[in-house]
Amino acid sequence: MRFYMTPGSCSTGIHILLEEIGLVFEVWIVNLLAGDQNQADYLAINPKATIPALVRDDGSALTEFTAIAWWLARSHPKRKLLPEAAEGEARVLEVMGHVTGTLHGQGFARIFTTDKFSPNEADHEAIRVRGREIVAQGFAVVNALLADREYVAAEHFTIADAALFYVEFWAERIGLPLPENCRAHYRRLLQRPAVRQVLMEEGYASALA
């Protein structure tokens, strides 16, 4: 398989899942700042010009964090990255939707890609402020879910935890405070061998200190 990713991005969560499962794959770096996602060869794989993308053994490409994570978990049930019951699976997907759609898509997107929300530079600070508000509100929701539990959507590590980790990682990198339970979750996941391996490989060994 070929895994198209950008170090330190949302694709870090998928990278963690690939290592948790123990799959063999090739990493292809997509330099977003250089515009690699808009090159014809990448658009042929993912016409949405986003990351991550996973080209599977049969040559078909799968995109979108939630879809890739779900497929990995369902294709390797012995790793128990999803609960067996429908209710448990729904709760995992519920958290992932909140992370990818709200925390990432509405909050951090305003902070990291401010110009996409307005071409007027005079609007940018207000957009970033709103992004930080959305992130704080989003983490407050997750913080409540983590009360008296180690993992966010089940009694064990699931694909929802991998998703939550990447936004927690972003918050740490840019100095946004994590509420108590989210910070404990982040620190807990930093101790997982797969997480440590991925951060080392992606050039973020300093996060492990």
* Domain topology for 2-79: Glutaredoxin (3.40.30)
Cα maximum dimension of the chain:
52
Cross-strand pairs, 53: 4, 63
Other CB atoms closer than 10 Å to residue 138's CB: what's the count?
Answer: 21
The whole-chain average pLDDT of the chain stands at 97
Q: What pLDDT is stored for residue 209 in this prediction? A: 82
Convert the pLDDT of each residue in 170-197 to its tens digit.
999 999 999 999 999 999 999 999 999 9
Torsion on CA atoms 57, 99, 167, 38, rounded to nearest 10: 50
Q: Name the band, by pLDDT with cuts 50, 70 and 90, for residue 160.
A: very high
Q: List where CATH 3.40.30.10 sits in the chain.
A: 2-79
Closest Cα to residue 198, out of 50, 1, 65, 20?
A: 20
136-140: Cβ within 8 A, 24+ apart: 136/176, 138/98, 138/99, 138/102, 138/103, 138/106, 138/107, 138/167, 139/103, 139/167, 139/171, 139/178, 139/179, 139/182, 140/179
Q: What pLDDT is stored for residue 47 in this prediction? A: 98
Other CB atoms closer than 10 Å to residue 60's CB: what's the count?
Answer: 8
Q: What is the mean pLDDT of residues 21-45?
A: 97
Q: List where CATH 1.20.1050.10 sits in the chain.
A: 86-192
Q: What is the DSSP letter of 5?
A: E
Convert the pLDDT of each residue in 59-78 to its tens digit.
999 999 999 999 999 999 99
Q: What is the DSSP letter of 38?
A: G
Which CATH code is given to the segment(s) 86-192? 1.20.1050.10
Is the pLDDT at 11 greater than 90, yes or no? Answer: yes
Torsion on CA atoms 200, 54, 59, 24, rounded to nearest 10: 30
Look-up of token digits 């694709």? 11
Q: What is the mean pLDDT of residues 88-99?
A: 98
Closest Cα to residue 199, out of 1, 7, 5, 18?
A: 7
CA atoms within 13 A on the CB side of 43: 5
Q: What pLDDT is stored for residue 8 in this prediction? A: 97
